[in-house]
Amino acid sequence: MSVLAQNMELIYELIAVISGLTYVILIARNKPIGWLFGIISALFSIFLFIGFAKLYSEAILYTYYVIAGFYGWYHWKSLNNQKKLVHVGWTKHVLIIFACSVMSYMLFLIMAHFFPDGKRPLIDAFTTVFSFLATYMATRKWISNWIYWIVIDLVSVWLYWSRDLEIYALLMLIYALMAVYGYYSWRAQEKIYNE
């Protein structure tokens, strides 16, 4: 890889990391503007995953993050900054986990067929599908989104480290710790509704 390409990879990674950290901090504090920083982080991540890391499922995921970012920002703003948080029962989680596991395996088969140069396609597919789910949960203010993020982020530490994306691996470790903070922060808020 040329020096220019290495520098571009580092610049994309740093912008994505800084804006991504800002996103998580603001979302954990229940601030709608956090979604804007999530959009910026996702855009730079897409370029990084396609152009350098060859993590195609991750690129699809981050494209979804851009769309979900706009939706989350709109939805949170439409709540007029209400702090309505939702608790979802275990039965629903069991069904969700089963369905997402099946979808993850299907994505793995598709990506392995069409992108044979993809790296770690099975783990890439699982983190991708469950991240779709956790992002949706965050847009709907499900408290359990943070639990999913803790697991996804810890698996992603290994995935990114194995692809020589050390800064992203560190970011995922920080995200996991911030997800713990986000979970307890949301649990401490007064208005929690069952769904």
- Alpha-carbon distance 44 to 88, whole Å? 33
Q: What is the pTM of this model?
A: 0.83
Alpha carbon of 169 to those of 31, 43, 110, 144, 173: distances in Å? Answer: 25, 18, 25, 23, 6
* Triad 105, 106, 107: Cα angle to 5°: 90
Indicate the range of 86-90, 145-149, 177-181 predicted with least confidence. Answer: 86-90
Q: What are the boundaries of each domain within the chain?
A: 3-194
Beta-strand (E) ranges in the chain?
85-87, 192-194
Whether 165 contacts 16, CB under 8 Å: no
Indicate the range of 58-62, 89-93, 183-187 predicted with least confidence. Answer: 58-62
Whether 45 contacts 70, CB under 8 Å: no
Predicted pLDDT at 82: 63
At residue 102 the predicted structure's pLDDT band, cuts being 50, 70 and 90, is very high
